[in-house]
Amino acid sequence: MTTPRLCVCIKNSEYEASLELRKIYEVVDDEEARVLRQIRVIDESGEDYLYPEDFFVRVDLPQSLEKQLLESA
């Protein structure tokens, strides 16, 4: 089973300009970030940045829906 590539923002304190609550974000794999309890996502700037992992919940969507969401980004 693969790790979900999408997550939902559930917290954005101190990052209101970069993250929208309840929005789906693309996750960029980053092993070093995991060790630091961080997650790398492509935020509102269109660039990938590290955020606290507890700001997000990974979502496992049907492959066809995930593909459509990632292609429309």
pLDDT digit string, tens, across residues 7-32: 999 999 999 999 999 999 999 999 99
- Model pLDDT, residue 50: 97
The per-residue pLDDT for range 53-68, each reduced to its tens digit, is 999 999 988 888 888 8
Q: Please check whether residue 1 lies inside any domain of the structure.
A: no
Is the residue at 18 inside a domain? yes
What is the domain extent for residue 47? 6-72
Residue 43 lies in a domain: yes
40 in a structural domain: yes
Beta partners for residue 58, in sequence order: 7
- With respect to residue 10, please indicate whether it lies within any of the assigned structural domains: yes
How many distinct structural domains can be found in the chain?
1
CA 56 to mean position of chain CA atoms? 7
CATH of the domain at 42: 2.30.30
| Complete edge-to-edge strand list for the sheet that includes strand 56-59 | 48-52, 38-42, 24-28, 6-9, 56-59
